[in-house]
A and B are shown apart, each in its own frame.
Chain A
Amino acid sequence: MKKLLGALCAATMLTAPAFAQDYPERQITMVVPFAAGGPTDTVARLVAEKMSGDLGQQIVVENVGGAGGTLGAGQVAKADPDGYTVLLHHIGMATAATLYRNLAYDTPNAFEYVGLVTEVPMVIVARKDFEPTDFKGFIDYVKANGDSLTLANAGIGAASHLCGMLLMQALETPLVTVPYKGTGPAMTDLLGGQTDIMCDQTTNTTQQIKGGTIKAYAVTTPERLDLFPDLPTAEESGLAGFEVSIWHGIYTPKGTPAEVNERLSKSLQTALADEGVAKAMADLGTAPSSAEDAMPAALKAKLESEIARWKPVIEAAGVYAD
């Protein structure tokens, strides 16, 4: 009964104008626009727990999956801009702006920004008996055998799809793309040698590479990874400008007071500085964003530049998800 009264009190308090200095005074909902247990959900739950500690209020993760993350994002765009509904989304926030031609929200103008959370690197991998021995050989081999090779991806808009598009563009060679429903089945067929090449996040590939069940050729980051010091970057091997990572950011609905976003950002920075979070992210092959990146301005700049960057890539490929 006490709790019920508490809920009622909290409900009545909502009507009072939100005083940013008192924020937060009740539970915060973090919307993850993908299913529970997925990689994005994992990132969200990691930081949500630490942010709850800093804010002194529980952050509950709500999974609103569907339509490549656009349903959950659309729901947050329409939510009250009081700081009690936030969104954790990845690179799909930027690509959906072009991939979906009739989105329910206007991506650059529907949100306020809290900060970047992490940027997950990607690795170009192939089935374990794929012939080339290094990335230079890989490039030559793919260019020579282009249309007889298959490139797997986890569905339109997925990280592997984006990276694959970019790879084909950089190599100027079209491959036979084979879409799957999610990373699991795509990886199964790569393990079984049913498909040839894939480019996917370290989250999904690290353990398989270490287990020797697939072959890794290059990483897609500007610098080599501590995780795989022997793997070259795509750029150093001659694919200029080939750089892609799956970045995650936290957003609030348009009109959320700046003080609230600052408060959330500060708590995000605290969470990212936590050793446990760094360790968990390292296990996934990624690292927490720096304190400067975990700020509203950095996320805003990232979103805008990524929308501009992917627009021509997607339009050239002519693939849309609506």
Chain B
Amino acid sequence: MELFSNLAMGFSVAGSLANLAFCLIGVLLGTLIGVLPGIGATATIAMLLPITFQLEPVSSLIMLAGIYYGAQYGGSTTAILINMPGESSSAVTAIDGYQMARKGRAGTALAVAALGSFFAGTVSTFLVAIFAPPLTAIALKFGAAEYFSLMVLGLVMSVALAHGSVLKALAMVVLGLLLGMVGTDIYTGTPRFTMGITQYADGLNFVALAVGVFGIAEILRNLEDETDREVMTKNINRLLPTRDELRQMIGPVLRGTGVGSVLGILPGGGAILASFASYTVEKKLSKNPREFGQGALAGVAGPESANNAGAQTSFIPLLTLGIPANPVMALMIGAMIIQGIVPGPNVVSEQPELFWGIIASMWIGNLMLVVLNLPLIGLWVKLLTVPYFVLFPIIMAMCSIGVYSVASNTFDLYAVAFFGLLGYLMSKLRCEPAPLLLGFVLGPLLEENLRRAMILSRGDASTFVTRPISALLLLMALGVLVLVFLPQIRKRRDEVFTESDA
């Protein structure tokens, strides 16, 4: 079996003492910086990238990959503990994870996230190893029309993110889409909604938006009545999940892994849908969908697994095509180039040690994360016993540094304040931030691909249904739409009936 000899070679590279050490350092640094509020994987990598330049190519990439998962991992921890997501995937984790934390189940939420991520990471590492080349061929079949249809599917799903009014959730998605339009139009170079501020020419900073509408809004909410209410319950239950809870998470983790692995392969932004899609699936399959948004275990286990699986498989386009699937991957390409390895279709055959070494180190890195983080849970949970009035000024300081470090753009900090106010206003009006955030990340992709598809088809809109993959995705979107609205219609009918009965 060639695969096994390749994997064995990979493990021998990644398992060398030096590389194990670099993997550990990467994972540790990533977790530590990623866990600081307002600092997600992108900001962490941007900060830590120069550190890796002095190393051997394989070691530097192993360390970078470690930083990447570590940061993602740390980001989820912050999302669960203080409702402060550093990137779109942990925004989904924040919805139910933070509610669990408030109910004293922070330990459980963190453990579930850790175990789910590890399982997903293991499975998808093997997927990468076995299927990388054929999967790439499928990914290349995705043109503008397919991506547009995929984004439509994602948007339809997003409505399920809301636990309140569907109508308001839709409005938040649309508002998010509009906020995503801010910046220079890539087709004509026209600035849109920038109010003449050049600093917003490349759009609003995602971290600024996420930190504002989630984190800062939450701080303001907690400051409303601080004299007579504690933010966190003081009686924290057991740190590790019970056997029953472990059984509950099996389904969500398996499904999340599947969804995430598939979406992660698509280089045009599939991975960002992974956690959202998983959340939708779990909510639809759940026996008590009302639990979602109030601290549902499946709402943490599913998205976290999907997110980690997607993060792994998004290495496929990077390693087989030399094409970055997201900004973090783009940074990794830069790191490879600085090391004298120009990523491209030949990396697998020309640098097998590098290719398989990275794949093996992915699994090792994931293992290290679990081993490191399960004992750390106790520490994180203790953090919640720090009085809130001490905690939040620290959060504000870290947010300021984190947002600024992404692009040294002071206007991103002004955006944080603006979105903090907006998020607080939204929460007062009982509008939820998650659909807004999804709209914001999908907006540019949706428009870009719609317009590109129309250009490529010479203005023929039937391209969306004549291309088979695109047609299939649109059909799925229709299916989800029916699933989402059917219960509503049925419910209304029930209401009518009960009223007439009375």
Contacts and interface: CB of A to CB of B under 8 A. Distances in A.
Given A38-B330, A192-B143, A208-B345, A71 B49 contact: no
Nearest to B347: A207
B317 interface: yes
Contacts of A206: 342, 344
Contacts of B142: 192
Q: Interface majority SS on A: helix, strand, loop or mixed?
A: mixed
A185 B322 CA distance: 11
B295 to A, nearest CB: 38
B201 A66 contact: yes
B198 interface: yes
Contact of B409 (A66, A99, A194): A66
Given A188-B323, A321-B189, A63 B141 contact: no
Interface residues of A, number: 59
Interface stretch (B77-85, B123-131, B332-340, B394-402): B332-340
Nearest to B343: A207
Q: Which of B201, B331, B409 has the most chain A CB atoms closer than 10 A to its own CB? A: B201
Nearest to A99: B189
Interface in B413-460: 444, 448, 452, 455-456, 458
Nearest to B324: A184
A164 to B, nearest CB: 14
A213 B345 contact: yes
B330 A35 contact: yes
Interface string A26-70: 000000000111110110011001000000000001111111101
Contacts, number: 146
Contact of B337 (A99, A184, A284): A284
B346 A211 contact: yes
A23 interface: no
Contact of B346 (A35, A150, A207): A207
Contacts of B452: 178, 180
Interface string B45-70: 01001100100000000000000000
Contacts of B202: 65-67
A146 interface: no
A134 interface: no
Interface in A251-310: 279-280, 283-284
A286 B407 CA distance: 28
B49 A36 contact: yes
A63 B408 contact: yes
B330 A180 contact: no
Interface string B112-146: 00000000000000000000000000001111100
B191 interface: yes
A-B complex: 3 closest residue pairs judged by Cβ atoms: A37-B334, A207-B344, A211-B345
Interface of B: 46, 49-50, 53, 140-144, 184, 186-189, 191, 198-199, 201-202, 267-268, 317, 321-324, 327, 330-335, 337-338, 340, 342-346, 407-409, 444, 448, 452, 455-456, 458
17 contacts: A37-B334, A37-B335, A63-B408, A66-B202, A67-B198, A67-B202, A70-B198, A99-B189, A150-B456, A155-B186, A156-B189, A188-B268, A191-B140, A192-B143, A206-B344, A211-B344, A211-B345
